Structure 1
Amino acid sequence: MAKRRQLFEGKAKVLFEGPEPGTLVQYFKDDATAFNNQKKGTITGKGVLNNRISEYLMTRLGEIGIPTHFVRRLNMREQLIREVEIVPVEVVIRNIVAGSLAKRFAIEEGTALPRSIVEYYYKKDELDDPMISEEHITAFGWATPPELDEIMAMSLRINDFLTGLFLGIGIRLIDFKLEFGRLWEDDQMRIVLADEISPDNCRLWDLKTNEKLDKDRFRRDLGGIEEAYQEVARRLGILPESGPNDYQGPETIQ
């Protein structure tokens, strides 16, 4: 088992030093959280599935010119990524009313929106990730106006592509969260897509039945969580043939 220095542990992933300068190893856990860490649990095999799903989607986005931090998958639970400076803003793109949007405005879940809505949230767990405006982002220096324009343009392009991709496999992309980072190369900086894209941060409904195929099954105690994640991977054609617990991750050194 490889020994690597752990740099950060989040709710769903662990970051380790990478094999080369400017790289990190991102390890996907089976831990599940909801409501800003108020609800905790484990989804068996989630880390393996999210690793594969995110690899697939990041690769497809790279093929259409979306720059990402993803380099390659290393094994069942790890991928090599470029080290970036995370922009502390979560971008949420909503295509159909669901979740907090339905609650805030007392609109029935499943209501189609006349156009996609983009919302920004300050990435700060201790503050419960409050919703913010473009003015907050630029005034507090979280991103510059040109960076924000680039983030918005990329987010809408990602939404268009993923909406079509999921429709092609009978899944409706209800809403999803994106994170971006600053990648420095030879004194040049560019904004790239970071974090992950998986059923952890996407709402995915079956096109015909509206069955939920995402982390809402955990949030709402609907059961069938592992099966939902597996179904997404199966439809994408990337369901791992190996068992979900065949790789336990690297040994941490201090």
Structure 2
Amino acid sequence: MRLEKQDLLFEGASKRLYSTGRPSIIVLEFTDEFPGSAASSKKGKFPGKGEINCGISSFLFQYLENYHVPTHFSERITPTEMTVRKLEMFKIIVHVHNIATANLAARFKLDDGRALDYPIIEYYLKAPRLGNPMVNETHALALGLAKKEDLRTISRIASKTNAILKSLFDRRGLVLLEFQLEIGSAGDHICIADEITPDNCRIWDRKTNRRLDQDRIHQDLGGVEKAYRELHDRLISAA
């Protein structure tokens, strides 16, 4: 029996969360809006964006689960909605960098698009009013954001996710420059939450370096709808 969404629990820039008849399961709905970014407050939308992002995130969550990477995904129930496990969220955003671009390139004065010798994993405090400041392991421990064993698990999940997704994207002729993860737990079970979409990843075409992600709107590059649809089709149609 399919679960129906009930009360609105949360509404963000590009997603909504609803309760269901089961306390441990919620509905995650993707909207057509774009969220702002750390470097840009520009917003916009296009018809079908929610469906595209729901499709990409559903596909990637299931792909990761096939490689024993835990996620909160349960089932895609409509073109724009999925059911997910309700989690206690860590107040940490995990950023994984494979290529220097955007904020990372600016901070270290690196050429945009420079390949890194080793993936960089960074943690940021999820506190928009403070600008989501970067934190390290001792910050996380001192501020009670996570236990030491939790941080080890989070790091393993981030590293494994990166290896799996880099390989997948490479086979699709794509480069995964960077992405961010939100992490939650249900009891002792730690897993990936939120979404994995071009809203929180940076993805280029491998041959042309054409951007197929959020930067098309935040940098006024145009063609954002075409880029999102192309990314969706290249990831999923070849599956």
Range class of TM-score, shorter chain? over 0.9
Residue of structure 2 equivalent to 1:66: 69
Residue of structure 2 equivalent to 1:243: none
Moved more, 100-109 or 155-164: 100-109
Please say if residues 99 and 116 of structure 2, whose CA atoms lie closer than 8 Å, have aligned partners that are also in contact.
Answer: yes
> 1:52 Cα shift?
0.4
Counterpart of 1:69, as a letter, is H
SS in 2 for 1:222: coil
The CA distance in 2 between the partners of 1:229 and 1:13, in whole Å, is 17
Residue of structure 1 equivalent to 2:235: 236
Using CA pairs below 8 Å that are at least 6 residues apart, which structure has the higher relative contact order?
1
> 1:238 Cα shift?
4.6
SS in 1 for 2:34: strand
Please say if residues 5 and 18 of structure 2, whose CA atoms lie closer than 8 Å, have aligned partners that are also in contact.
Answer: no
SS in 1 for 2:111: coil
1:15-59 CA deviation, whole Å, 9 max, x = no partner?
A: 000231211000001111223473222133211100000000000
Please say if residues 5 and 27 of structure 2, whose CA atoms lie closer than 8 Å, have aligned partners that are also in contact.
Answer: no
Residue of structure 2 equivalent to 1:157: 160
Gaps of 5+ in 2: none
Residue of structure 2 equivalent to 1:112: 115
Residue of structure 1 equivalent to 2:51: 48
Counterpart of 2:9, as a letter, is L
Residue of structure 2 equivalent to 1:14: 16
Report the aligned-residue RMSD. Answer: 1.4
The CA distance in 2 between the partners of 1:117 and 1:218, in whole Å, is 26
The CA distance in 1 between the partners of 2:20 and 2:69, in whole Å, is 23
SS in 2 for 1:191: strand
Q: How do residues 24-35 of structure 1 correspond to structure 2 at under 5 angstroms?
A: 24-35=26-37
Structure 2 length-normalised TM: 0.94
Please say if residues 56 and 236 of structure 2, whose CA atoms lie closer than 8 Å, have aligned partners that are also in contact.
Answer: no
SS in 1 for 2:172: coil
Whether 2:124 is the aligned partner of 1:124: answer no
1:61-107 CA deviation, whole Å, 9 max, x = no partner?
A: 00111111100001011000000011110000000000101111221
Whether 2:83 is the aligned partner of 1:80: answer yes
Structure 1 length-normalised TM: 0.89
The CA distance in 2 between the partners of 1:127 and 1:50, in whole Å, is 28
Gaps of 5+ in 1: 240-254
Give the 3 Å change call, closer, same or farther, for CA 181–3 of structure 1 in structure 2.
closer
Aligned-residue sequence identity (percent) comes to: 40
1:116-136 CA deviation, whole Å, 9 max, x = no partner?
A: 001111111111111111111
